[in-house]
Structure 1
Amino acid sequence: MSPSSLSTAGILLITVPAVAFGGISLLAHLMRDIPGYLDNPVRRSLWRAGHAHAGVLVLFALVAMIYVDQADLSDATRSLIRILITAAPILMPIGFFLSVVRPSDTKPNKLIWLVALGGTSLGAGTLLLGIGLV
């Protein structure tokens, strides 16, 4: 594995405790019956989606780093792919969480667009990687 992919994997691994902390926070909201979570279905759904996407996308990005170095692409394109794929597990959960940050929010604010931006980033990165591997 290249030094760049190892560094990227290291950064991704550092985010795992943040994902775990998010899970503990959600559990605390459930167990303590904190107002603004259980009684707010929009907030509850988006926060649950944010936590789930964070965990799955971090794992996906870690696996993708193994393949980046195997792709028949320029170093610049490999760097771009690392950035695009790593952006998704950061942007998407942030969009889910920050779009309903106040307990009284009944609909997402404009930060929900970070979810689409993260999805676009993931799509572009995986498409480039797939092309490079084929």
Structure 2
Amino acid sequence: MHLALGVVSATFLAGAVLARGGSAASGLPLRLSTISYGKADSSSMDTILLTDASRIIAGVALLTIVTIELGGFLMTRIASGAVEMTSFQKSFARAGHGHAGVLVTLSLICLVLADLGNVDGAAGWIARICIPLSAVVMSAGFFAASAGRDRTTPNRFILVLYLGAALLTVGVATLGIALLAA
């Protein structure tokens, strides 16, 4: 199932790039049509325009799903007992894997919100970069903080987890304030 989700994600990304109707360097916004219920003609569909920054960040975020899939494979090995870990390490592995998936999904939603809210300038970059970056950093923090044989408490890499949480806080607070001020 994880592999199927990766194929769907890659197919969506490839379809979106083809639907863009121009070269990557043309500077034209990506046009994604929303699903139109009960109407068959495409002229009745609404469009969402993504900035080039959001399109590129979304593409990279979608590609990170491959690493989340690999984490899912590791989680099945952990759950089946094929990988020996302490209960602390199992908890942190579950948390790292779960946070990765949820935060990548959140980052994709926030990219669209930033574009729909016309959030630009420094606030736009902070919101667009910090939220997806937090998915990588926070998840890495869970895994790094629990690394080591028979570990039952976090090691010094717990600071990476805290950095990821700070990035998430800055990103969502910036986007939330920008959307309310728009």
TM-score by length of 1: 0.91
Counterparts of residues 1-134 of structure 1 (less than 5 Å): 1-35=50-84, 37=85, 40-134=86-180
Distance in 1 separating the partners of 2:120 and 2:109: 20
Identity %: 31
For 1:66, the aligned partner's letter is V
Report which structure shows greater RCO (CA 8 Å, sep ≥6). Answer: 1
Equivalences, count: 131
**Could you state the TM-score of these two structures normalised by the residue count of structure 2?**
0.68
Q: Give the equivalent residue in structure 1 for 2:34.
A: none
SS at structure 2 position matched to 1:110 = coil
**Which has the higher Rg, Structure 1 or Structure 2?**
2
Distance 1:72 1:14 in 2: 25
Q: Which runs of 5+ in 2 are unaligned?
A: 1-49
**3-state SS of paired residue (2:117):** coil
Q: CA deviation at 1:102?
A: 1.7
Q: Which moved more, 1:56-65 or 1:21-30?
A: 21-30
| Gap runs ≥5 in structure 1 | none
User: By percentage of residues, which structure has more strand?
Assistant: 2
The 10-residue stretch of structure 1 (15-24 or 100-109) with the greater mean CA deviation from structure 2: 100-109
